[in-house]
Amino acid sequence: MKPVNIAFDNVLKASPEAFLKSWIEEVAHSGEGSSGSNARVAQNEARELLSALQDAVRDGADLTQFGSDAWSKTRAVLAELSQSRAAQGASAGETSYFVMAIKKPLFAGLQQLISIDPQQVFDTVWAASTLVDKMAQWTATTYQRSREQVIKRQQQELLELSTPVVKLWEGVLAAPMIGTLDSSRTQLVMESLLQRIVETGSELAIIDITGVPTVDTLVAQHLLKTVTAIRLMGADCIISGIRPQIAQTIVQLGIDLQGITTKATLADALSLAMKRSGWVVSRAIG
């Protein structure tokens, strides 16, 4: 074992309980710590991290090489810690400070142990500082990664939620679009709409854009593409719910919607669809 490792091992095993206490106190003291009910959880996490650290140091892991295999267990503990923190909604600062706070008891312990040889003091402190920084960095990275995963999953869910294709009548499908239309969403709507046309053998599809806040040239382009694809499959398409402002924008942009049936509301579009397929709706009374 290297002298630095020996010094480390001595600090860590000297009095683990006091070490933990000082660590948790430092976390709580900083104001970044977890409050009340989470204190026990934090204590357990600290204990687990400490034991992982102890094992690695005892196995002679190089303190400057946090990326090496010897530290894999410590990294796993940190990853788990940051993932659970991310899921609980703790901030990145809180999470990484929890790891940084180990410096307090660690340095205090080292101070008591090491000799007066300045070179050795410097080496040990430098190694300790580097290690803790690397650990905090790793925690922050994993934290960020797990947050990104959450965001990605939510995006995917939003995408699927906001693009339903519903059957309005025998042979009539409707796709109510809500929110801003971009390439990926239009692609998704187009695919699911076309797929449903094949499945149900519907001859008419209504795309309702009441919930679309703005239409620019790109969105119009996407709409035209969808309409063309539907026509290629052998079905017909009506676009409904073009609001006055959007109609004005479309005219100003010089987008040609000729050849595409448009209706003011979904109800108008449905009544046109029913008329085309020969349905007559009449009121029974009055």
Partner 1 sequence: MERIPVLQMGKCLLVTIQVDMQDQTAILLQDDLAVKISGSGATGVLIDISSLEIVDSFIGRMLAGIAAVLGATTVVVGMQPAVAITLVELGLSLEGVRTALNVERGMTLLRRADGGDLDF
Binding site for partner 1 (CB under 8 A): 190-191, 194-195, 197-198, 201, 203, 225, 228-235
Nearer to partner 1, 164 or 201 (CB): 201
Buried b (16+ CB within 10 A) or exposed e, 41-64: ebbebbbebbebbbebbeeebbbe
| Residue 175: its H or E element | strand 172-178
Q: How far is the CB of 220 from partner 1 (least distance, A)?
A: 14
Is the Cβ–Cβ distance between 213 and 180 less than 8 Å? yes
Nearer to partner 1, 211 or 234 (CB): 234
Q: How far is the CB of 197 from partner 1 (least distance, A)?
A: 7
Q: How far is the CB of 271 from partner 1 (least distance, A)?
A: 22
Q: How far is the CB of 196 from partner 1 (least distance, A)?
A: 9
Residue 204: how many CB atoms within 10 A of its CB? 24
Nearer to partner 1, 118 or 259 (CB): 259
Q: How far is the CB of 199 from partner 1 (least distance, A)?
A: 10
Say if strands 204-211 and 236-240 run parallel, antiparallel, or are unpaired: parallel
Nearer to partner 1, 110 or 197 (CB): 197
Q: What DSSP string runs through 63-129?
A: TT-TTSGGGHHHHHHHHHHHHHHHHHT--HHHHHHHHHTTHHHHHHHHHHHS-S-HHHHHHHHHHHH
DSSP E strands: which ranges in 21-79?
none
Closest C-alpha to 177, from 131, 145, 208, 213 = 208
Nearer to partner 1, 40 or 231 (CB): 231
Nearer to partner 1, 9 or 236 (CB): 236
Q: How far is the CB of 222 from partner 1 (least distance, A)?
A: 10
